[in-house]
A and B are shown apart, each in its own frame.
Chain A
Amino acid sequence: MSRTLPRFSATFDPYTISQIQRAAATGIYDIRGAGAKRKLPHFDDLLFLGASISRYPLEGYREKCGTNVVLGARFAKKPIELKIPITLAGMSFGALSANAKEALGLAATAMGTSTTTGDGGMTSEERQSSKTLVYQYLPSRYGMNPDDLRKADAIEVVIGQGAKPGGGGMLLGQKITPRVARMRVLPEGIDQRSACRHPDWTGPDDLEIKIGELREITDWEKPIYVKVGASRPYYDTALAVKSGADVVVLDGMQGGTAATQEVFIENVGLPILAAIRPAVQALQDLDMHRKVQLIVSGGIRTGADVAKALALGADAVAIGTAALIALGDNDPRHAAEYAELGTEPGAYDDWHEGNDPAGITTQRPELTARLDPETAGRRLRNYLSVLTLEAQTIARACGKSHVHNLEPEDLVALTVEAAAMAGVPLAGTNWIPGTPLG
């Protein structure tokens, strides 16, 4: 052989080259939906130690393993009780079609859990389909309305999200339809730029006053969540608690978004695996673990992920991307249409463009009509059931009669990275790398 094979650079790999070419051609940063796609340390690198002789497991199917979770008992007169520790993360009408929102609500209601509004306010369909609805209070305050605030079952003050801690959202013109525009008081068809800071407060000292106002307006009835993107989880959790939150929502960098700069999604924030222990440590240091609940999100896919998040100290998880996939996002039956959009099933992330063949991340009537809320809701309900059953299976195998009794000590890590980030020993050793937090 006189020549070597063509060789691609590991640094300038084909995807990187396409990024440079795209940037040079358009002059605008790449915007897309979904969360981080790079390989990150994740729950896959943790394993449970099941029971055997030293501990006894519970019988599957027969012996009870509880999954309920109460949120907001710290200050709210009307805390929420969810039957499963899996909630649906905030996704706006605007980012999602009305049918998709309705499907989320139907599934959550059937499973005894909650859905969450998003940037753009509450729709009446959403309030109707979802029995337990968390109302997001965002920097943009699009559609912010005291009547909806009073109609909500809980309020989530959004400070950041995992895909873009420190950044604002973006919704491109294609999705600002007349109804979306009217709800947000924006001209139709323009690119919407969302603020990254709240307009009338900054920092925990002001947040305490803001939470006070929200409590006064709703007569101290509703749980108040504070949602942050994972970046400095120890401090952010501690400050949310000091500011008076009932619940802290912590979103890792795998968490999805409707539309943000690719550079932001892939380069800012922490994977959820690395964020849970510092947040739990902050709660423990303040003697607030299990008193202020911790909901974590960002890359939850299976019941094993749910169980691992709970074992690390979370009270519940939230799912977004996985829920959209359950509804029918990235379904292979749309392969031909994905190909027309220059992508393929499993890789479609141009949620911001409003051309979703599955009718989920779009406002185009001919596309949204493809998603039947009942059918899609049934699929999501099935998926939520599987997540719950899987988490229970693992908890029973570890001898727990409630999923909240899983502990970090039930876990070991397969890699040094995962051991350090999750604060659990490397499998087969008693070695936990890294330094304690706090």
Chain B
Amino acid sequence: MPEVDLRQQTVRDLNEALHRLSRQTNETDWQVLHPNGQHSLAVGIDAPVTVRIKGHVGYYCAGMNKDATVIIDGNAGVGCAENMMSGRVHVKGDVSQAAGATAQGGLLIVDGNASARCGISMKGADIVVKGNIGPMSAFMAQAGNLVVLGDAGEALGDSLYETRIFVRGAVKSLGADCVEKPMGEEEKAILSQVLELAGIADDVRPEAFRFYGSARRLYHFNVDHAEEY
């Protein structure tokens, strides 16, 4: 198994090695040691490999990931898995702000808590947070699913487009144009599928969640809603 020790090698060495991999590579299991909160680790991967990072990471870990599985045995900094296209990013600890920002595909799993703006402008990814999420999460979120097993902070789903938000715990407040909606069979099926993907379908029932979506009142400007702009 290829191993990169970031006490001996640089972030550049790591990313260069990962970028050199062809999609048919046999070197599919990578281990990264001593990340010590460094930024931009395992970014821009474009191959179906698994990278396990043993420790806490800084900003933008696994940014723009395609097809890779990145596992972080620790906490992740700002913008973890930002603009992910596909693949899977699993953070065993907490994530900082803007986790999964603008992510277009793939699955981000956070075992701990996510702080502010989780899933901001997300564009199609699935994000599963087992703990709580911070304020302004799913701000301007466009597509995909945000699933939260714990509680959500203030202004959830502000200026939401079509992302589906499922929260099992309490929601401190909803942002402009975000409303609770009845969970229909379609949403329940989608939620079940995401829980299944995240490997927690056996422990977590879809019925325990409440479903939030866009009221679509900001889709066309109306002077009587001006205070929400």
Contacts and interface: CB of A to CB of B under 8 A. Distances in A.
* Chain A bound to chain B: yes
A200 B98 contact: yes
Contacts of A28: 221, 223
Given A200-B82, A200-B98, A216 B220 contact: no
A248 to B, nearest CB: 22
B104 A219 contact: no
Interface in B159-173: 159, 161-162
Contact of B64 (A26, A146, A173): A146
Given A28-B223, A217-B43, A141 B218 contact: no
Interface of B: 11-12, 15-16, 19, 39-40, 43-44, 46, 58-60, 63-64, 66, 78-79, 82-83, 85, 97-98, 101-102, 104, 117, 120-121, 123-124, 139-140, 142-143, 159, 161-162, 218-221, 223, 226
A424 to B, nearest CB: 43
Contacts of A149: 44, 64
Contacts of A193: 140, 159, 218
A213 B219 contact: no
Contact of B40 (A27, A141, A185, A216): A216
Contacts of B101: 141, 199-200
Nearest to B16: A219
B220 A190 contact: yes
Interface string A183-224: 011110011010100011100001001101100111110000
Nearest to A215: B40
A51 interface: no
30 contacts: A141-B83, A144-B102, A146-B44, A146-B46, A147-B46, A150-B44, A173-B219, A173-B220, A184-B142, A185-B123, A187-B161, A187-B162, A191-B218, A191-B219, A193-B218, A195-B140, A199-B82, A199-B121, A200-B79, A200-B120, A201-B78, A209-B59, A210-B59, A212-B40, A213-B59, A216-B15, A216-B40, A217-B63, A219-B15, A219-B19
Contacts of B102: 141, 144, 199-200
Nearest to B102: A141
Closest 7 A/B residue pairs (Cβ): A27-B223, A217-B44, A200-B79, A146-B64, A200-B98, A190-B219, A141-B102
B83 A185 contact: no
Nearest to B83: A144
A157 to B, nearest CB: 14
A185 B78 CA distance: 24
Contacts of B220: 173, 190-191
B198 to A, nearest CB: 22
Interface string A146-183: 11011000000000000000000000010000000000
A415 interface: no
Contacts of A141: 83, 101-102, 121, 123
Interface residues of A, number: 33
A140 interface: yes
Contact of B63 (A147, A184, A206, A213): A213
Contacts of A216: 11-12, 15, 40, 43-44
Interface string A1-40: 0000000000000000000000000111000000000000
Contacts of B140: 193, 195
Given A187-B162, A200-B98, A210 B60 contact: yes
**Chain A: interface secondary structure?**
loop
Contact of B219 (A187, A195, A199): A187
**Chain B: interface secondary structure?**
loop
Contact of A209 (B16, B39, B159, B219): B39
A213 B11 CA distance: 10
A186 B142 contact: yes
A411 to B, nearest CB: 44
Nearest to B66: A146
Contacts of A191: 218-221
Most buried by B among A145, A173, A186, A199: A199
A140 B63 CA distance: 16
Contacts of B121: 140-141, 195, 199
Contacts of B104: 144-145, 185
A334 B115 CA distance: 54
A126 B79 CA distance: 29
Contacts of B16: 219
A152 to B, nearest CB: 13
A416 to B, nearest CB: 41
Contacts of A185: 104, 123-124, 142-143
A209 B41 CA distance: 12
A27 B117 CA distance: 32
Contacts of A186: 142, 161
Nearest to B226: A27
A347 B83 CA distance: 40
Nearest to B59: A209
A213 B45 CA distance: 12
A122 B19 CA distance: 22
A213 B39 contact: yes
Interface string A213-250: 10011111000000000000000000000000000000
B227 to A, nearest CB: 13
A212 B143 CA distance: 28
A218 B40 CA distance: 12
Contacts of B64: 146, 149, 217
Nearest to A190: B219
A206 B78 CA distance: 10
Given A187-B219, A191-B219, A218 B44 contact: yes
